[in-house]
Amino acid sequence: MSPTKTSLSNLIVANGEPLIWGQRTYVMGIINVTPDSFSGDGLGRNVPAIVEQALRFQDQGADFLDVGAESTRPEHEPVSAEEELGRLIPALEAIAARVRLPISVDTCKSPVARQALAAGATIINDIWGLKADPILAEVAAESGAPLILMHNQKTRQYQDLLPDIIASLRHSAQQALQAGVRQENIILDPGFGFGKTPAHNLEVLHRLSEFKDLEYPLLLGTSRKSTIGLVLDLPVEERSEGTAATVALSIAGGADIVRVHDVKAMVRVCRMTDAIVRGWRPRSWSQ
């Protein structure tokens, strides 16, 4: 299978709807095909379980699936491209054969992204915002795949938190544009939980509306993160309510996509928040 030209503007998401920014918040369901996920939901190479989860997320209202084969938890052990592909490709091929939703591949390696697109992925999600492998932008440009660029850095030191993050994201977006990625195919992610202290994470969420000045769609991934655990003093499996609060506040701050583990519950949080913040109404609405 060869990758097909696509763009966010022509993607079909949940319930056969075309993607239209600003109409409602889109939900990205996380599928970890790793043995060492921080959230305890890693499925490893269990392809039947992976497909079952993908189908469940589709039924629960997810708009995208994000499939990753290398853990990004703190102090994780990096894996080679070969190991990542060995986990990823069977999962992607199986999901793509059964699920109607757009599939994002969570990788920072251009060879992995290239093969993932050939196996059925249609979006690239780079947690290093082209800092680890700038060639990812060329892969996205050549294939026409939308590209998610996340802010990340190796230290937690900033001169001025929000301006520094915004400048870094602007630079990543400019790199992508120079490589030939279409502007409408770029999504930015402030990187909640990456290269930031818990206090930084809370400030990013509190000031999320400032990122709209970048004029790109925003993705937020707060689900089950350690900052929630620290605030509530709860283990990872008990952070659903804390995640719900961050999802609702992300939407109020301007997030267009939320990346979550608990799809069913967070779709409900999004719809209720959208009804208040975006003026979204269900099809059955009669008043």
pLDDT tens profile 158-169: 999 999 999 999
For residue 29, is it within any domain? yes
In this structure, is residue 125 part of a structural domain? yes
Tens-place pLDDT, residues 81-124:
999 999 999 999 999 999 999 999 999 999 999 999 999 999 99
Is the pLDDT at 155 greater than 80? The verdict is: yes
- Determine, yes or no, domain membership for 285: no
pLDDT at 38 over 60: no
Q: Is 187 domain-assigned?
A: yes
What pLDDT does residue 6 have? 74
- CATH number of the domain within which 154 lies: 3.20.20.20
Q: What is the pLDDT of residue 286?
A: 67
More confidently predicted of 286 and 205: 205
Taking residues 207-221, what's their average pLDDT? 97
Question: Which comes out higher in pLDDT, residue 169 or 42?
Answer: 169
In DSSP terms, 125 is beta-bridged to 106, 148
Per-residue pLDDT tens digits for 217-239: 999 999 999 999 999 999 999 99
In a domain? residue 284: no
Of the candidates 62, 83, 63, 57, the one whose C-alpha atom is nearest the C-alpha of residue 71 is 83
Name the domain count of the chain: 1
Q: What is the mean pLDDT of residues 28-50?
A: 76
Q: Compute how many other C-beta atoms are within 10 angstroms of the C-beta atom of residue 287.
A: 3
E strand intervals along 23-108:
26-32, 64-68, 103-106
**Mean pLDDT, rounded, for 165-187:** 97
Give pTM, 2 decimals: 0.94
Tell me, yes or no, whether 33 lies in a domain. Answer: yes
Within-domain flag for 108: yes
Catalytic center residues: 225, 259
> Which domain range does residue 114 map to?
8-277
If you average pLDDT over every residue of the chain, what do you get? 93
* Token pair recorded at residue 73: 């938890």
